Amino acid sequence: MTRYDSTSSGNDATGRHEPATFVVTGCAGFIGSHVVEALLERGDAVRGIDSFTDYYARGLKQANLAACTRDPSFMFIEADLCDAQLDDLVDGAAGVFHLAAQAGVRGSWGDTFAVYAQDNIVATQRLLEAAVGAGSRVAFASSSSVYGDAEAYPTREDAPPHPISPYGVTKLCCEHLAGAYADSRGLDHVILRYFTVYGPRQRPDMAFARIVRALVDGGTFSVFGTGGQTRDVTFVGDAVAATIAAMDRGQRGAIYNVGGGSETSLRDAIEIAERLSGRRLDAHHESVATGDVGRTAADTSRARRDLDWKPRTSIEEGLRQQLAWAGIDAAAAAEGSRAGSPPS
């Protein structure tokens, strides 16, 4: 079970949490479903919105929400943010966690950019309108993709953004939309720039999910480039803790990097996953994907200072939990390895 550090706000002077109602868009997705669980665990009521786009299988998203749907404090609404009556959905909510988006760098080129423009930019603009009308704070899920190939590492929030993929451009556009609504319409918002979030329920197109699936099924894994590219990887429990802390006590209009402090090359991540699983990965190399950056590394000092947050999960522990979720008992695999059992 994913653990969340809930040492954040929403508490009264005695330290007790005062329950509230929140909206979570993209609630059936990877991060969204974890945010819903964490809010329900601390006693909040949640209105979850998801349109079940066909980016990946509906059944996986329904499974993400299975535990939440049994909680009477959770209300699920299947709706598209681009045409839903958002004023009614947001009315009375203390805050909106806007996690819905068309994700993925590689798929954002060509004709499919129209989907990104609609599901990211248009949907966000409509949601911001509703949030202003309701007086609800918005925590917007952005991405390290807005930095592109950054000029300095670790990268601070005041680094000049320079996205090198259409996906990154849409995320930066949404940030600017939020800023415009703040300046002209009084929107209260915070922005989270996530750095490669992984863990149980990770989207099946993401690298760690594909590595784990290949180890479980015995399939092949495509490495784009040499495998030397590095990412500041962030366990989902840590990302959720930062997201809720930003909603609860982040400074109005602030941008927060959310990074795990575990800058790791793809080669090293594969080695860790192989060691934990006791299995060998059948990896094949392909050319570098257009729009992929060579390195990401987050300066998280602002989140540490403002939110009293820091990442707590090592990549070894995070991958162990992701492997367990996928059906591999890393502890048993390690015991078998010590006993001399060959990798399967």
Tell me the C-alpha to C-alpha distance, in Å, between residue 68 and each of 63, 77, 194, 272: 10, 13, 24, 32
Which residues are designated catalytic? 167
Question: How many Cβ atoms from other residues are within 10 Å of residue 149's Cβ?
Answer: 12
3-state SS, one letter per residue, for the chain = CCCCCCCCCCECCCCCECCCEEEEECCCCHHHHHHHHHHHHCCCEEEEEECCCCCCCHHHHHHHCCCHHHCCCEEEEECCCCCCCHHHHHCCCCEEEECCCCCCCHHHCHHHHHHHHHHHHHHHHHHHHHHHHHCCEEEEEEEHHHHCCCCCCCECCCCCCCCCCHHHHHHHHHHHHHHHHHHHHCCCEEEEEECCEECCCCCCCCHHHHHHHHHHHCCEEEEECCCCCEEEEEEHHHHHHHHHHHHHHCCCCCEEEECCCEEEEHHHHHHHHHHHHCCCCEEEEECCCCCCCCECCECCHHHHHHHCCCCCCCHHHHHHHHHHHHCCCHHHHHHHHHCCCCCC
Q: Please, what sign has the CA dihedral across residues 268, 272, 278, 283? A: negative
